[in-house]
Chains A and B, each alone.
Chain A
């Protein structure tokens, strides 16, 4: 996860951006664009759509800076990003010729290179898995997908995810659990879960053995 600018720096940039200082705002863009893009990518599945949504998100954020009540910037920005992704999805659904077909696994930009010591077979399996996971994410209802992407992919805590989704922590928990359960069933059916489960079980056993 890319660490944003120091909080003090961020506060300064925000203050100047609120007064219309575009350069200051662009400093914030630099700090958050990876995260915003990543969120849009996981929500939309297409790098092109994600790029459009990301651009829209920052435009919208700049235009609505006055309404940011100075709490914490990240959840506010991510909420705008999630909405931009929803808008982009609707826009593309209205124009059927622009398809949201997923790129084949591995064609996702930037390319995911083999890890050190990873055999070609393992790399191929991992790419395939990634495609499967992304397809599985796409089958979720939007609010469940947002919950699971925020918490499990981006690593947000329940409270921050709740702020991004403008809802209660309990709602986040229930959407999250439903999303995970759906993904579990889907991935189980594709056989992707087997090796992963074995690894998890081994880890857990070894943790218990060492008295975790």
Chain B
């Protein structure tokens, strides 16, 4: 016990402690230990004295007074602020605007092709329409998987608002593509990790279709964990087109989201 105290006193206190001791900002125990150390340590006492001197010099700086009056005139107040206003980085605004436009165009293209593209995707259109903005790309991103065990599919947040009880993936649907990830989790609450299991097995018959669908909407690499999934051959060409479109949508949506987020952060960092 005594040894521990002694060694605590023997240890040279860090600069931060000396600084706090200077301001009397240390709890009594620590303060006493530092004083005890200073009493016996020339080096630290010297250092403490120097810090004290620095503080004294700073407080002794002459109290400069304003060289003139800084009262505001009505004219000055009406005029626009001098100098560049603190604007968020303009390129960021441009990027998010462009990305939003690109995304909207791609979405429109997507919608029109699927609406005109035959029954296979008939069910899909409402989903994409409902999944506005980044949400849909997020969903598409995450729901690349086709296996029943794919957790990612359950993370198809956008599925939540549009989750009717399994209407998409009726076993009876001929192509049952469920290209939208949302369709792949008919009964899954958003983000429920075990939803993948339940969603993945609506019926044995639909399994193949399940696998096919999301694979068709092959999203950007990180989400795609099912390279082994063999998509059905027939709709492959159409799917590839859709794939590219989806990827584009996902990218544009991400960029829009990212730059909007950055804008918000920049605004928040500005002092009020």
Contact = CB atoms under 8 A, between A and B. Distances in A.
B193 to A, nearest CB: 36
Interface stretch (B74-82, B157-165, B218-226): B74-82
Given A130-B61, A176-B19, A197 B50 contact: yes
A201 B48 CA distance: 10
Nearest to B84: A91
Contacts, number: 144
A129 B25 CA distance: 28
B104 to A, nearest CB: 34
Interface string B33-73: 00000000000001101111111111101111111111110
A130 B64 CA distance: 12
Nearest to A39: B64
A1 B63 contact: yes
A38 B71 contact: no
A112 B62 contact: yes
A42 B72 contact: no
A59 interface: yes
A152 B55 contact: yes
Of A152, A158, A178, A187, most buried by chain B (CB within 10 Å of CB) is A152
Interface residues of A, number: 64
A196 B56 contact: yes
Contacts of A25: 72
B237 interface: no
B47 to A, nearest CB: 7
B264 interface: no
Interface in A143-197: 148-149, 151-153, 155, 158, 166, 173-174, 176-178, 180-181, 183-184, 187-188, 192-193, 196-197
The main secondary structure of chain A at its interface with chain B is: helix
B72 A22 contact: yes
B76 A59 contact: yes
Given A38-B64, A64-B272, A109-B67, 11 more contacts: A30-B71, A59-B76, A83-B271, A87-B86, A91-B83, A130-B62, A133-B57, A133-B61, A155-B59, A193-B53, A196-B53
Instruction: Report the 5 A-B pairs with minimum CB-CB distance, sorted nearest first.
Output: A177-B19, A196-B53, A152-B58, A37-B66, A26-B71
Interface of B: 15-16, 18-20, 22-23, 25, 46-47, 49-59, 61-72, 74, 76-77, 81-84, 86, 271-272
Interface of A: 1, 22, 25-26, 29-30, 33-34, 36-38, 41-42, 47, 51, 54-56, 58-60, 62-64, 67, 79-80, 83, 87, 91, 108-110, 112, 129-130, 133, 148-149, 151-153, 155, 158, 166, 173-174, 176-178, 180-181, 183-184, 187-188, 192-193, 196-197, 199-201, 204
